[in-house]
């Protein structure tokens, strides 16, 4: 049947709309998640990596430093977990931000130092900085400056730099004999799991997605085998490697499985990983760092290129990990 006079053919409308949306999507994704030439997501490196040490410009002290964090961010979640396990709540305060797609980045829930956005605070501390304003941030209130914005550095600092102020100083998540192994393990799982889910979700070509997805689930299969034989990644000892893995597993079924297309299997489909996730969740202080409703809001509500309608799904039911499945062989205090 011929189309009505003056009405564009449906096929032309669909092709035009698809071209416009694809072009805009590629432009938005390139801003949010810069790709390689092959379409693989490239996470920019952190720029501020100063230590906390007695002989540095930033010596350890109670109530001098703050962490700028958000419940939704898995990298910030690492620092919240380490702070809780070490008992540093009274020594290191928290400053909260939340994502704003309208502002194109993190905004303070309460204005801080006259700044509404994290980008403004970065520029206040470093006027020449033109990079991304990321969290977590270790902030020095005394010098009014950004000390460190690399989560891997910050969790090591939280484990050791504030020992005299930690109420759980006996907890050592980075023991000297295991440090090389922990670093190697964390680096590998960072690429294929922690950042691997983002490489799936932010992939801009089929080939980039297929590679990232294959590496992700190959590693999850390996982790399932390892954790079927021991409570933590390094046997009986809870380490920073576990602290790095947990935030990704916690978000996996609710966010990465659907929104990021990591949908070969759920964590719930892995018996050992499920037990591990639940046992980690029930360690002292960790549950208080987990806000799944906020996590879903931050991902589904704010990643417009991946979820244009902003609709937040009702499921899945993740009450299974909140049920205590039994304690690990040793608590972190052991």
| Helix, strand or coil, per DSSP, at residue 146 | strand
Distance CA 244, CA 74 (A): 9
Is 198 among the residues known to form the active site? yes
| Helix, strand or coil, per DSSP, at residue 18 | helix
The gap from C-alpha 233 to its chain's centroid, in whole angstroms, comes to 19
Of 41, 58, 174, 198, which residue is the catalytic one?
198
Residue by residue, DSSP assigns 96-122 as: EEEEETTTTEEEEEEEETTEEEHHHHH
Is 200 among the residues known to form the active site? no
DSSP element (H, E) containing 137: strand 137-140
Tokens standing for 73?
Answer: 């961010």
Distance CA 252, CA 233 (A): 18
Distance CA 119, CA 265 (A): 37
**CA nearest 82: which of 96, 67, 95, 72?**
67
Tokens standing for 197?
Answer: 């889910």
Cβ(62)–Cβ(90) below 8 Å = yes
Of 71, 73, 276, 321, which residue is the catalytic one?
73
**CA nearest 125: which of 107, 109, 108, 137?**
137
202-205 CB contacts, 8 Å cutoff, 24+ apart: 202/29, 202/32, 202/33, 202/35, 202/41, 202/260, 203/35, 203/39, 203/40, 203/41, 204/26, 204/29, 204/30, 204/33, 204/35, 204/39, 204/41, 205/38, 205/39, 205/40
Catalytic residue set: 73, 198
């Amino acid at each position: 049947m011929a189309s009505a006079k003056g009405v564009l053919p449906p096929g032309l409308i669909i092709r035009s709309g698809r071209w416009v949306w694809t072009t805009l999507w590629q432009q938005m994704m390139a801003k949010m998640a810069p790709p390689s030439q092959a379409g693989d997501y490239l996470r920019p490196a952190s720029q501020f990596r100063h230590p906390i040490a007695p002989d540095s410009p930033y010596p350890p002290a109670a109530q001098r430093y703050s962490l700028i964090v958000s419940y939704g961010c898995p990298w910030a979640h690492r620092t919240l977990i380490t702070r809780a396990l070490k008992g540093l709540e009274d020594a290191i305060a928290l400053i909260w931000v939340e994502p704003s797609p309208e502002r194109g980045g993190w905004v303070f829930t309460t204005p801080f130092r006259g700044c509404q956005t994290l980008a403004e605070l970065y520029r206040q501390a470093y006027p020449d900085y033109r990079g991304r304003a990321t969290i977590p941030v270790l902030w020095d209130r005394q010098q009014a400056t950004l000390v460190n914005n690399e989560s891997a550095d910050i969790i090591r600092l939280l484990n050791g730099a504030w020992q005299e102020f930690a109420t759980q100083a006996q907890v050592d998540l980075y023991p000297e004999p295991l440090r090389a192994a922990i670093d190697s393990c964390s680096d590998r799982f960072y690429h294929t799991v922690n950042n691997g889910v983002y490489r799936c979700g932010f992939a801009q070509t089929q080939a980039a997605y297929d590679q990232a997805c294959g590496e992700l689930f190959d590693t999850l299969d390996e982790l399932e085998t390892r954790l079927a034989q021991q409570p933590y990644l390094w046997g009986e000892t809870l380490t920073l490697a576990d602290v790095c893995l947990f935030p990704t597993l916690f978000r996996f079924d609710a966010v990465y499985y659907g929104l990021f297309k990591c949908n070969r299997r759920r964590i719930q489909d892995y018996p050992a990983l499920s037990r591990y996730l639940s046992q980690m969740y029930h360690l002292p202080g960790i549950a208080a760092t987990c806000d799944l409703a906020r996590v879903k809001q931050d991902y589904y509500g704010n990643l417009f290129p991946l979820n244009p309608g902003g609709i937040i799904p009702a499921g899945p039911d993740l009450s299974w990990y909140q049920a205590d499945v039994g304690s690990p062989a040793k608590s972190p205090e052991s």
